[in-house]
Amino acid sequence: MFDLWFWIVAVMLTAYVVLDGYDLGAGALHLAVARTDAERRTVLAAVGPFWDANEVWLLAAGGALFVAFPRVLASGLSGFYLAIFLVLWCLILRAVAIEFRSHLSEGLWRGFWDAGFAAASALLPVLFGAALGNVIRGVPLDADGWFELPLFTTFLPADPPGILDGYTVLAGAFALTALLAHGAAFLAWRTQGEVQARSRALAGRLLVALAALWPMTTIATHAVNPDLLPALPGRPLAWLGLALAAGGLAAAILAVRRGRDLGAFAGSCAFLAGMLVATAACLHPVLLRSIADPARSITAATGGGDARGLATALGWWAVGFPIAVGYFVTLFRLHRGKAVAARDGEGY
């Protein structure tokens, strides 16, 4: 049961990254691909029907952690206290910027919210990537399963570590590049004209940069967690994830060069999903790795809640998850086609 919930949480986090990832990337890029007010409202029209629904997956994953692995959630919330507040502030700024920027027509007002939207959208992937980097590298868990991390120390992935060090910053840069490419591919698919042309050009360059960063990040990952990559041979799901990621990245690069925007976006989705599946498969069953003493690591078994409660929660999840998937399928069908900016004063 605990292993099943490990994968349920992994699936929900993967859904969040793939779905909210494209509007984070689009938001971070929108000042580069959209030069005029009408073009910026076109970008907002592309992500507008989806962004708030996409963020629900993050809340749902947090709820699944609360139900299935309360020790992990309690330890992580206390240890990453400052980082979590940074994430919340960025999420709030994004939402406020999207909703407020068109309330007034003055250029200074709209420019302020556009800059805030871009900054928050760019910072969130860095924070999420650094968070995953901390999970992979490990944290200084004490005998009771608690830890405390400053924002940074020496920027070396050694004791005492910080939330930000050389490795987690690299992981954040890798995540930012991946989501920028994801967002550019989405905008190339969903827009037209100059915004589409600029997005397509950026998607091609960002995907190549992502391909260059991938081996660098893999080498750094092996340096901070030597146990991760040796687990690959005995974990077929990890190989499947890596194959999906490599095939998705290659397909995305090829699709961009041929002008097949939907194919590039689908390839980017496959890359993100494959990377997260492979990472989860290699980490399993560890949820929070202890740097000092591996015996202190919190696993799916040691961090889990009541088994009977998890069985009941699984029944509710089996009902709710297909409804959520159906909702997103319906949402994409209702808003299919190219995004068109609403008339000024009538939309984003």
pLDDT at 344: 67
Q: Would you give the DSSP letter of residue 227? A: T
What is the DSSP secondary-structure string of 266-278? HHHHHHHHHHHHH
pLDDT at 254 over 70: yes
pLDDT at 44: 93
310-345, pLDDT tens digit by residue?
Answer: 899 999 999 999 999 999 999 999 998 898 877 766
Please compute, for residue 127, the number of CA atoms within 13 A of its CA located in the half-sphere on the CB side: 20
Average pLDDT, the chain: 92
Task: Confirm if 38 and 341 have CB atoms less than 8 A apart.
Answer: yes
Please compute, for residue 313, the number of CA atoms within 13 A of its CA located in the half-sphere on the CB side: 21
Residue 273 or 228, more confident: 273
Q: How far apart are CA 99 and CA 95, in angstroms?
A: 6
pLDDT at 129: 96
> What is the reported pTM?
0.95
pLDDT at 12: 95
- Whether 58 maps to a domain, the answer reads yes
Q: How far apart are CA 23 and CA 17, in angstroms?
A: 10
Spatial CA neighbour of 10 closest among 238, 183, 185: 238
- Whether 65 maps to a domain, the answer reads yes
Mean of pLDDT values over 8-18: 96
Long-range contacts of 158-162 (CB under 8 A, 24+ apart): 159/291, 159/292, 161/137, 161/291
Task: Confirm if 115 and 266 have CB atoms less than 8 A apart.
Answer: no
pLDDT at 348 over 70: no
- Of 7-11, 194-198, 210-214, 294-298, the one with minimum mean pLDDT is 294-298
104-162, pLDDT tens digit by residue?
Answer: 888 899 999 999 999 999 999 999 999 999 999 999 898 888 888 888 877 777 667 88
- Whether 124 maps to a domain, the answer reads yes
- Whether 270 maps to a domain, the answer reads no
CA dihedral 311, 62, 299, 310 (to 10 degrees): -10
- Whether 255 maps to a domain, the answer reads no
* Strand pairing report for 286-288 and 298-299: antiparallel
- Whether 199 maps to a domain, the answer reads yes
pLDDT at 346: 63
Report the SS3 class of residue 286: strand
pLDDT at 224: 92
Q: Please say whether the dihedral angle defined by the alpha carbons of residues 148, 74, 69 and 273, taken in this order, is positive or negative.
A: negative
Rounded to 5 degrees, what angle do the CA atoms 328, 19, 193 make?
95
Domain range for 103 is: 2-227+284-334
- Whether 267 maps to a domain, the answer reads no
- Whether 251 maps to a domain, the answer reads no
Q: State the total domains in the chain.
A: 1
Q: How far apart are CA 290 and CA 277, in angstroms?
A: 21
39-81, pLDDT tens digit by residue?
Answer: 999 999 999 899 989 999 999 999 999 899 999 988 988 888 8
